[in-house]
Amino acid sequence: MIELGREKRHSIQSICADSKDVLLRGAVEGTMGRVWVPRLENSPYCLVVVGDFAYLLGLPPKGEPALDLKSQIYQSADQAFLYPQNERWADWLEDEFLGLIRPVSRYALKKDEHHFDIGQLKGYISGIPEGIRIKRIDERLYRLALKAEWSRALCVNFENYEHFSRYCFGYAAMKGREMLAGCSAYGVSEGMMEIEVDTRKDWRRKGLALACSAAFLLECLEKGLTPNWDAVNLQSVGLAEKLGYVYDGEYQVYRLKELEES
């Protein structure tokens, strides 16, 4: 498999043309992520990896090319949610990783700005416990987020603070110099952001994730950006619904069993 540099990713636009996924679009635009193809010109399929998400698009390969792609998945997406473009890719995954892969559920939410109540969002911010502030993520908070395992995902998909500040923003709940929760963009594409929300374990259920998310949404609405929310569990669905999102249904992706059992 050949990795495409950012300036060459236009070559897979036709394979990804129908997708509205923020992370996938961001990778094709060259903003973030990594892309592999079997050949540089007229590639029949591709593997796109952004953070913990991997996308399989095009026509599933057979024979030796299938082995090459399978090897690349093990090397570059062994801990990722695997997103097949269609049923053919789902069948390919189940056949090629027979007994080594399992389906998992994720939950889609509708992103319609007409469902957001500006006053309610502002109320979530003002309702946080005394002594805690909601701050926009600057360079110091960017570096602070990367130091703790629970908060790394807020910034980890950006190469450095310059990359982060150029393409996105985020908010953190702070008590003194301690970060307790945050909301940022896990990924970006033109006009869209994929939301990431995290809270330190000992500060959960205190409205901090709600407040950080509300601040993030308010800035997205002010700037005319679409904030996408894709939930990994029902707790995330509940948080999104409080903010004004509308549940749109459960869907299936895949993960390698080695990750599930580790």
Q: What's the CATH fold of domain 109-249?
A: Aminopeptidase (3.40.630)
Is residue 230 within 8 A of residue 100, CB to CB? The reply is no
What is the value of pTM for the model shown?
0.91
pLDDT tens per residue across all 262 residues of the chain: 999 998 899 889 899 888 889 999 999 999 999 999 999 988 999 999 999 999 999 999 999 999 999 999 999 999 999 999 999 999 999 999 999 999 999 999 986 656 799 999 999 999 999 999 999 999 999 999 999 999 999 999 999 999 999 999 999 999 999 999 999 999 999 999 999 999 999 999 999 999 999 999 999 999 999 999 999 999 999 999 999 999 999 999 999 986 444 3
pLDDT of 113:
56
pLDDT of 112:
62
For residue 174, report the phi and psi dihedrals to the nearest 5 degrees: -120, 140
Bridge partners of residue 90, in order along the sequence? none
pLDDT of 162:
97
Which of 101, 105, 108 lies closest to 252, judged by CA?
A: 105
* CA dist., res. 219 & res. 223, Å (int): 6
Is residue 188 within 8 A of residue 22, CB to CB? The reply is yes
At 141-184, the pLDDT tens digits run: 999 999 999 999 999 999 999 999 999 999 999 999 999 999 99
Sign, CA torsion 215/219/221/222: positive
Which of 82, 89, 24, 80 lies closest to 62, judged by CA?
A: 89
pLDDT of 114:
64
Domain boundaries in the chain?
2-98, 109-249
